[in-house]
Amino acid sequence: MRLDHKDIDRLVSTYREDFTPDVEKGLRRLHGRITPVRQLRPHSRQTYLFGAAAAIALLVAFFFLFIGTGNQQLLVNHTGAPLAFDLPDGTRIVLQQGSEAGYNADEYNLETREVQLDGQAYFEVRPDADRPFLVANGDSELRVTGTAFNLRTEGNVMEVEVSEGSVTLEQAGERIAVAALECGLAEAGKPLRHAASPNLNHHAWRTGELKFDHTPISEVIGYFHDNWGIECTWAGAKECDYAVSGNYQGGDAGAVLEDIAKLGGLTLTATSTDGKHYELSGPCPL
């Protein structure tokens, strides 16, 4: 229906001259339609290093991705440095680059504190004997009441290295206790493994420090894979077996691996441009 100016004047005259719109009521109705978004801020005080003596500041909220899907909260580190998050109970997680963790916001810290991890992270778990801290990966589960440890999940592998306190590693009905300066490994279809780890070399991605004391070269290469995803093979499939000793701190991981190769009289050659694939060649040390 089309209105002319006379119709409009007649409609306007029906309002009282003292009419005032209820702005506050309208705003309340608008706010009631808006769903609040919960944000989790990363902890940005502590710094971590792998490169120089100066610390690398943990990046602030503008550089991390926080996703909420229903009640499942996902913490993701797409930055170029370790990134720390504080969970609702005060537990701190430091995620390695490219790693992510998640938890159910409604269930976390009720009876348990359950977290999922894809990648690698350092945990400082706030003590609470009544609410165990759990991390599951397939058939494997890590159970904690309060401690500090490094945890890596890769496919069906779960590897923990404890710096403080102790944890319990479980798989298919088998259970082992892993204390400070020890490492535990759960791999599908294999028995749980347990070993001393006095140098905490699985923390190197965060601390920037590697220590070797007559460590077999095969084990040394394994640390580079576990910390930085570096794949190192032997030319001609001929593997050397010799021990490595020394402390390494700072510098690029590839450069450190090259130094270790030179000490053994070997040559390290990059086989790709991604800094993740290398080949060792040369005569084996006697």
Element (H, E) at 42: strand 42-43
Quote the percentage of the chain above a pLDDT of 90.
67
- Look at residue 60 and tell me whether its pLDDT is greater than 50: no
Residue 222 sits at φ, ψ, to 5 deg, of -60, -35
pTM over 0.85: no
Q: Which of 18-27, 65-74, 85-94, 219-228 has the lowest mean pLDDT?
A: 18-27
The answer to whether the 42-201 and 210-281 domains have the same CATH topology is: no
75 close to 101: Cβ distance less than 8 angstroms: yes
pLDDT band at 284 (very low <50, low <70, confident <90, very high): confident
Q: Are strands 100-104 and 72-76 parallel, antiparallel or unpaired?
A: antiparallel
Q: For the segment 134-148, what is each residue's pLDDT rounded down to a tens digit?
A: 999 989 999 998 899
Class of domain 42-201: mainly beta
- Look at residue 7 and tell me whether its pLDDT is greater than 80: no
Q: For the segment 20-52, what is each residue's pLDDT rounded down to a tens digit?
A: 555 454 444 433 333 333 334 444 333 333 433
Give residue 236's pLDDT: 87
Q: Which of 7-11, 35-39, 174-178, 200-204 has the lowest mean pLDDT?
A: 35-39
- Which segments of 91-156 are extended strands (E)? 92-95, 100-104, 113-124, 133-137, 140-144, 148-154
Q: For the segment 229-241, what is each residue's pLDDT rounded down to a tens digit?
A: 999 999 987 888 8
The mean pLDDT value for 282-286 works out to 82
Quote the percentage of the chain above a pLDDT of 70.
75
What are the boundaries of each domain within the chain? 42-201, 210-281
46 or 9: which leads in pLDDT: 9
Burial 260-279 (b: 16+ CB within 10 A, else e): bbeebebebeeeeeeebebe
Give residue 241's pLDDT: 87
Q: State which fold the 210-281 domain adopts.
A: Phage tail protein beta-alpha-beta fold (3.55.50)
Give residue 251's pLDDT: 76
Q: Which of 52-66, 101-115, 152-166, 181-195 has the lowest mean pLDDT?
A: 52-66
Mean pLDDT for all residues in the chain: 82
Give residue 6's pLDDT: 54
Give residue 9's pLDDT: 53
Q: For the segment 80-139, what is each residue's pLDDT rounded down to a tens digit?
A: 999 999 999 999 999 999 999 999 999 999 999 999 999 999 999 999 999 999 999 989
* Complete edge-to-edge strand list for the sheet that includes strand 231-234: 231-234, 277-281, 267-270
Give residue 238's pLDDT: 83
